[in-house]
């Protein structure tokens, strides 16, 4: 017990905090520094409140951007790995539909353009007279008025 | 009547704050408690810079929480609780950042003590202070509050949210440990 009293008496030397110092006028300046910090925190909070929409959708925007980047990467990778294989994957139905549409577009004007092309004129075909052609067309029931005036 | 008085008691200061005179009331609270809370935190964290940080955070939290403060507990107990938490949290974060795993916490605080520009104790005070830093954290906290800050056990119990029995045990163990540490010299 006496020892305990002795120890506590020794520790009394620390009771006045004299071993610790503080900067000059620290306590005089402290309330002002604290108020300054509070005001600056409140001002920055105000700025954040003005931009809540961006803050709210920031995560969604980031996710969307990630998906777009992934899609672009995948597309680029396919282009590099198999550049010619893309047409193989066209569905057959699409190919038939496309061909059918092209056949229907074969009208007289298209045929006229085809006959008039230089490559066909120079092609190695048997000699046909105008009479031969007219007879062929009459047999086929073609509209002679249109065809003959254009020739 | 509230507006004309210069000095208010704690309940009046809280009332003044909630009545809209926030800055006036708050400045009075800071002026009234800053020194007590500073020394309480300084004994926990030892360095002045850390004490300053923790004290400013304490008052900023006070500003933010005063609106919801329940007047059935004492303002000073509430402030002490915030200050204690701030001091201990700061100490914890400093320990986590320490990259010297073989050294104990006591060594850390002794180093802090010696490197603090605002420690101006003599050799005897330094030895006593170092002995205190060798106590486990909770014992040191209880000893400081009881012996140096003259707080009553029931006040400490409310601040630390613990039982009076546990506090008395902690204080007793702290004194015994100090006896051993200081009789070694």
Please tell me whether residues B171 and B138 are part of one structural domain: yes
Asked if residue B85 belongs to a domain, the reply is yes
Q: Is the pLDDT of residue A144 over 60?
A: no
The alpha carbon of B122 is separated from its chain's Cα centroid by a whole number of angstroms, namely 23
Please choose, from the candidates B24, B22, B20, B23, the residue with its C-alpha nearest in 3D space to the C-alpha of residue B6: B24
Task: Give the structural domain span for A74.
Answer: 2-81
ipTM here? 0.81
Choose one of B36, B70, B102: the last residue of a domain: B102
Q: Which residue of B has its CA nearest to A37?
A: B60
In a domain, B82, yes or no: yes
The residue whose two tokens read 């800053």 is: B34
Could you tell me if A104 and A55 lie in one domain?
Answer: no
Domain that holds residue B57: 8-102
Please indicate, yes or no, if residue B16 is contained in any of the structural domains: yes
pLDDT at site A25: 94
- Chain B hits for A34, CB-CB cut-off 8 Å, are 30, 56, 59-60
- A69 lies in the same domain as A41: yes
Cβ proximity of B134 and B144 under 8 Å: no
Same domain, A35 and A67: yes
Residues of B in contact with A10 (CB under 8 A): 128, 182
Cβ partners under 8 Å of residue B131, min gap 6: B178, B181, B182
Q: Is residue B28 part of a domain?
A: yes
User: Which chain B residues contact residue A19 at CB under 8 A?
Assistant: 119-122, 125-126, 129
pLDDT at res. A44: 84
B116 within a domain of the structure (yes/no): no
Same domain, A130 and A113: yes
| B98 and B12 assigned to the same domain | yes
Write down the number of H helices and E strands in chain B: 9, 0
- Residue B2: predicted pLDDT: 45
Do B86 and B153 belong to one domain? no
**Residues B90, B13 share a domain:** yes
Q: How far apart are the first and last CA of chain B?
A: 59
Residue B87 falls within a domain, yes or no?
Answer: yes
**At residue A135, does pLDDT exceed 60?**
yes
C-beta separation of B122 from B137 below 8 A: no
Residues of B with CB under 8 A from a CB of A: 23, 26-27, 30-31, 34-35, 38-39, 42, 48, 52, 55-56, 59-60, 63, 118-122, 124-126, 128-129, 132, 147-148, 175, 178-179, 182-183
Q: Exposed, middle or buried, B120 (CB in 10 Å: 0-12/13-18/19+)?
A: exposed
Give me the sign of the Cα torsion angle B115, A11, B182, B96: negative
Contacts of B83 (CB under 8 A, 6+ apart): B37, B40, B41, B54, B55, B58
C-beta separation of B55 from B34 below 8 A = yes
The residue out of A60, A81, A102 marking a domain boundary is A81
CA distance linking residue B173 with residue B161, whole number of Å: 19
Do A76 and A95 lie in one domain? The reply is no
**Residue-level pLDDT at A11:** 83
Provide the CATH number for the domain around residue B58: 1.10.1740.10
| Tokens found for residue B28 | 């009075």
Beta carbons of A20 and B27 less than 8 Å apart: no
Say if residue A11 is in the same domain as residue A73.
yes
Chain B residue numbers touching A8 (CB-CB < 8 A): 147, 175
CATH of the domain at B144: 1.10.10.10
List, for residues A27-65, the tens digit of each pLDDT value: 999 999 999 999 998 888 777 766 666 666 777 778 888
- C-alpha count within 13 angstroms, C-beta hemisphere, residue B1: 4
Instruction: Please say whether the beta carbons of A18 and B148 come within 8 A.
Output: no
Q: How many structural domains are present in chain A?
A: 2
3-state secondary structure (DSSP) of residue A7: helix
Highest mean pLDDT among A18-22, A113-117, B40-44, B92-96: B40-44
Residues B90 and B138 in one domain: no
On whether residue B180 sits in a domain, the answer given is yes
Residues B37 and B90 in one domain: yes
B129 and B95 within one domain = no
What is the structure's pLDDT at A16?
A: 81
Domain end call among B68, B102, B136: B102
B58 φ, ψ (degrees, to nearest 5)? -60, -50
Domain boundary, last residue among B46, B67, B102 = B102
- A33-64 burial code (b ≥16 CB/10 A, e <16): ebbeebeeeeeeeeeeeeeeeeeeeeeeeeee
User: Quick one: closest CA in B to A14, which residue?
Assistant: B125
Last residue of a domain, one of A56, A81, A106: A81
Q: Residue range A68-93: average pLDDT?
A: 74
Of A81, A112, A142, the residue that ends a domain is A81
Average pLDDT over residues A6-21: 81
Among B6, B156, B29, B7, smallest CA distance to B81 is for B156
| Digitized pLDDT (tens) for each residue of chain B, 185 residues in all | 444 456 788 999 999 999 999 999 999 999 999 999 999 999 999 999 999 999 999 999 999 999 988 766 799 999 999 999 999 999 988 887 766 555 555 447 888 888 888 887 788 888 888 899 999 999 999 999 999 999 999 999 999 999 999 999 999 999 999 988 888 66
Q: Which of B48, B51, B151 to mutate to test the interface with A (most CBs of A within 10 A)?
A: B48
Across chain A, mean pLDDT equals 75
Say what the pLDDT of residue A150 is.
Answer: 47
In a domain, B83, yes or no: yes
């Amino acid at each position: 017990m006496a020892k305990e009293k002795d120890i506590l008496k020794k520790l009394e030397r620390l009771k006045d905090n004299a071993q610790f110092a503080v900067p000059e006028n620290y306590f005089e300046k402290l309330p002002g520094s604290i108020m300054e910090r509070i005001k600056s925190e409140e001002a920055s909070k105000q700025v954040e409140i003005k931009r809540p929409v961006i803050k709210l959708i920031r995560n969604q925007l980031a996710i969307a951007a990630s998906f777009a980047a992934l899609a672009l990467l995948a597309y680029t990778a396919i282009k590099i790995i198999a550049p010619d294989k893309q047409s193989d994957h066209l569905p057959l139905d699409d190919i038939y539909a496309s061909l059918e549409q092209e056949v229907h577009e074969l009208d007289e004007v298209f045929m006229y353009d085809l006959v008039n092309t230089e490559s066909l004129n120079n092609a190695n075909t048997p000699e046909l007279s105008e009479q031969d052609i007219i007879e062929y067309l009459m047999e086929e029931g073609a509209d002679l008025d249109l065809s003959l005036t254009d020739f | 009547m509230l507006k004309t008085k210069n000095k208010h008691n704690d309940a009046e200061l809280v009332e003044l704050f909630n009545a809209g005179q926030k800055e006036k009331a708050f400045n009075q609270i800071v002026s009234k408690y800053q020194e007590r809370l500073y020394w309480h935190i300084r004994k926990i964290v030892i360095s002045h810079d850390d004490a300053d940080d923790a004290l400013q955070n304490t008052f900023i939290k006070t500003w933010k929480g005063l609106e919801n403060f329940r007047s059935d507990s004492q303002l000073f107990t509430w402030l002490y609780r915030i200050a204690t938490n701030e001091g201990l949290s700061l100490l914890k974060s400093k320990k986590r950042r320490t990259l010297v795993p073989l050294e104990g916490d006591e060594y850390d605080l002794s180093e802090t003590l010696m490197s603090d520009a605002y420690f101006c104790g003599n050799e005897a005070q330094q030895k006593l202070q170092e002995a205190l830093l060798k106590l486990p954290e909770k014992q040191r906290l209880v000893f400081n509050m009881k012996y140096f800050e003259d707080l009553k056990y029931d006040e400490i119990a409310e601040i630390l949210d613990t039982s009076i029995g546990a506090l008395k045990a902690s204080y007793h163990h702290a004194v015994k440990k100090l006896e051993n540490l200081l009789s070694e010299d």
